[in-house]
Structure 1
Amino acid sequence: MAAPIIRVGNTDKEVSKDLCQFVIDKATSSIQERGTFTVGVSGGSLVKYLCNGLPSSKTDWTKWRIFFCDERHVPYDNSECTYTLYKTGLVDKVGMPPENIFPINPDLSVEDAAVDYEKKIRLVFPETDIPRFDLLLLGMGPDGHTCSLFPGHQLLEEKTRIISPIKGKADIVQRVLEGKEEVLLPAARVRPTNGDVIWYLDKGAASKLKNI
C-alpha cells in the first residue's frame, strides 16, 4: 500500500487552487484516455473549494459525470442538500448538461433511495462488479469519519482523495495519518487498490503532523 501524499496550503485560496488544478488535470487525462471523467464528491467545505475554483477552469464539461460519495436525505430545496449546492454553484455556472450530475431521489425512503442510486451508478459502470471512479473526493469529520462511515462501522476501502481544510481537525488529522490506533479510524481505512491517496490540508489542519 502506497503511503498517503500530503499537500499543505498556507491559505484557503492556496488549498482551493491546488486541489482544483489536481481535479482538472485528472479530468483531462481521464477524458483523453477513456472519453469521460467520473468523479464522486462530498459536501461540507469541499463544496466551497470546488465551486469557487472550478468554474473558471478549462475542461470539456460535457464529459464529466458527477456522483455523490455521501448526501443528506433531504428535498432539493433544503439548504443542506449537497446536490443543489453543486448544481447552482458549478453545473449551472459552466453549462454542464444537467443529466451529467446524479442526485439521490429524496422522494423515496432511505433504503429505496440507496437501491435506486446504485442502479444509477450501474448505468454508467455497466461492465464492472465494483465501479471504479476516476476520482473520489471525501471530507473528514472531527471524529475521523468519512463518507458517512463512522468509527466502528464496517468500511470499504476505496481509491480516493481527501480534503480537510479545518484547523480544528489538527488532532484527528494527526491520529489518522501518524497515529498507532489499534482499530483504525474510518478515514485511515481509505486505501488505494490501484492509485494514490492524497490529502489536501491547510496549514492549521497539518499543524500537528510530525513527518512532513
Structure 2
Amino acid sequence: MTKFLEILDDKSELVKRALKISVNCIQEAIAKRGKCSIALAGGSTPKPLYEKLAAQNLDWNNIYIFWGDERYVPADHPDSNEKMAREAWLNQCPIPAQNIFPMPTGADPATDAATYEQTLQDFFGSQDNVGFDLMFLGMGDDGHTASLFPQTAALDVGDRLVAVGQKQEDSRITLTLPTINASHNIIFLVAGANKQDALQQVFHEDCDPKDYPSKFIQPKEGRLWWLLDAAAGEKLSPDGAIYAMKSR
C-alpha cells in the first residue's frame, strides 16, 4: 500500500487536488483494464468535486458508477446519496444509464444489501474479483466512514461485500471493510475543524479502529490518499505543510 496525506489550504484547493487525482485514476484504469469502476461517497464535501467531474472530457461509456453506502430513504429523498450524486454529476454528463448502479432501498435493509452484493458479483465476475478502480470516502466527526460506525456490528463483517450499517436507530446499506480495502485507489475527502479530533485519533498508532473506523481503511495493494483542508488538518500539521507518506 502507498499512503499519502496532503493538507490543502482550503476546501477549494482540496477539490482541485482531488479532481486531478481522480481524473488520473480514471484514465489509468481505462487504459489498463478498458473500464473504470467508481464507488461514490455521500455528504456535502464531495459535491463540488462531483460537479467538476461532470464537466470533464472523459470516456463516459467505460465509466461505471456504484455507491459506498446509502441512507435507507427513497432515491428522491433530500438525504439520498444517490440523489445528490445524480444532481451534481451523473445527470450533467453523458454517462449511459446502464452504467449506474445505485443501492436499492425498496424492500428491507438486509434484503437490499444482499441484492447489491449480487449486483457487484455480477459486474466483477465473482466475490473474489471485486475491486473498485476508485473509491471516494468521507469521514464523520466520530471517525466513521461509509456507513461503518464506531462499535457497530458491520465492522465485523468479513465474509460479505455489502452489509447493513447502523447509525443509532437508522439502518443504512454499506460496503464492508474488505470490499473497500480491495480498491485500487481510495480518496478520503475531509474538510472542517470539527474533524480535527477524530483525525488525530485515526493517525495515532494506538487508536482502536473500532472506536474510529476510518483507521480500518488500509487498501491491500492500492493507493490511499487522505486529502484534508487546513481546518481539518491543523492538529496534524500546525505549519500547514503538505507531505506524503509511504507504507509497506
TM-score between both structures, scaled by the size of structure 2: 0.79
Q: Secondary structure at the match of 2:227?
A: strand
Q: Secondary structure at the match of 1:111?
A: helix
Question: What residue in structure 2 maps to residue 84 of structure 1?
Answer: 83
2:202 corresponds to 1:163? no
Q: Would you identify which runs of 4 or more consecutive aligned residues in structure 1 move more than 4 Å?
A: none
- Over the matched positions of the two proteins, sequence identity in percent amounts to 29
2:121 corresponds to 1:95? no
Q: Secondary structure at the match of 2:71?
A: coil
Deviations 1:138-158 (A, max 9, x none): 111111111111122435241
Q: Secondary structure at the match of 1:32?
A: helix
C-alpha deviation, 1:126, in angstroms: 0.8
Question: What residue in structure 1 maps to residue 165 of structure 2?
Answer: none
Report the residue type matching 2:187 in the other structure. R
Aligned pairs, number: 211
Alignment map for 1:1-212 (pairs within 5 Å): 2=2, 4-153=3-152, 154-155=155-156, 156-157=177-178, 158=181, 159=183, 160-178=186-204, 180-183=206-209, 185-210=212-237
Hey, what's the Cα distance between the residues in 2 that align with 1:98 and 1:85? 16
Deviations 1:124-171 (A, max 9, x none): 101452511111111111111111111224352414321111221011
TM-score between both structures, scaled by the size of structure 1: 0.92
Q: 1:168 to 1:102 in 2, by over 3 A?
A: same
- Does the Cα contact within 8 Å between 1:164 and 1:202 map onto a contact in 2? yes
Hey, what's the Cα distance between the residues in 2 that align with 1:21 and 1:168? 26
Q: Secondary structure at the match of 2:148?
A: coil
Hey, what's the Cα distance between the residues in 1 that align with 2:200 and 2:19? 24
Report the residue type matching 1:72 in the other structure. R
Hey, what's the Cα distance between the residues in 2 that align with 1:181 and 1:105? 34
- Where is the strand percentage greater, Structure 1 or Structure 2? 2
Deviating more after overlay: 46-55 vs 12-21: 46-55
Q: 1:182 to 1:94 in 2, by over 3 A?
A: closer
C-alpha deviation, 1:50, in angstroms: 2.1
Report the residue type matching 1:44 in the other structure. G
